[in-house]
Amino acid sequence: MSMRLARLRTVDGSLPFDRSAKGFNRAWWYDGPALQGREYFSVVRGNTEVARAEVDPNSTDVGSYVGLTVPGVVVKIEFFEVRRRFRGDGIGRDAVAAIAAQYEGAWLTVVSSDAGGFWEAIGWTEARYGDRPDVPSFRYLLDARTGSAS
């Protein structure tokens, strides 16, 4: 069954996600305001929402990394989640690829202290800070021009 990525519109400064959908982290998707400049995505398979993302397309949250020359502005995935009952089905990989395609030609980044295995499994690379290369950064990068972290 095919998936589609929908860019959601915010209304009255509220997050644009369906509050009745079970299986998503409530603190990420229901409790806060929609932030100026952020973009919100819903991934739908058939008639069922299977993943969500909040993206900052103009993030300056970057640093100096070993072996990488990253521009001063990147696309940062602030939050990304596959609905609990759909995890492990390849939806995350496809959903992230669809989001990356929206920003073709840009560097993408995400910070994740607990899902590094996922980001590495889908081809993102953990960046090591230039001033402390032996310490995990929990920052993963993808160059959308090439589909890699090179």
Question: Which of the four pLDDT bands, split at 50, 70 and 90, describes residue 38?
Answer: very high
pLDDT digits (tens, 9 = 90+) for 113-123: 889 899 999 99
Write down the pLDDT at residue 145: 64
Q: Where are the beta strands (DSSP E) in the chain?
A: 3-8, 39-45, 48-59, 74-82, 107-111, 125-126, 139-143
What pLDDT score was predicted for residue 131? 85
**What's the confidence (pLDDT) of residue 149?**
56
- The tokens for 1 are 């069954």
CATH class of this structure's domain 3-143? alpha beta
Q: Report the Cα–Cα distance between both ends of the chain, in Å, rounded.
A: 32
Instruction: Output the pLDDT for position 135.
Output: 82
Does the pLDDT value for residue 42 go beyond 80? Answer: yes
**pLDDT score recorded for residue 146:** 64
Lowest-confidence pick of 67-76, 78-87, 106-115: 67-76
Compare 62 and 89 and report the one with higher pLDDT.
89
* Torsion angles phi and psi, residue 100, rounded to 5: -60, -40
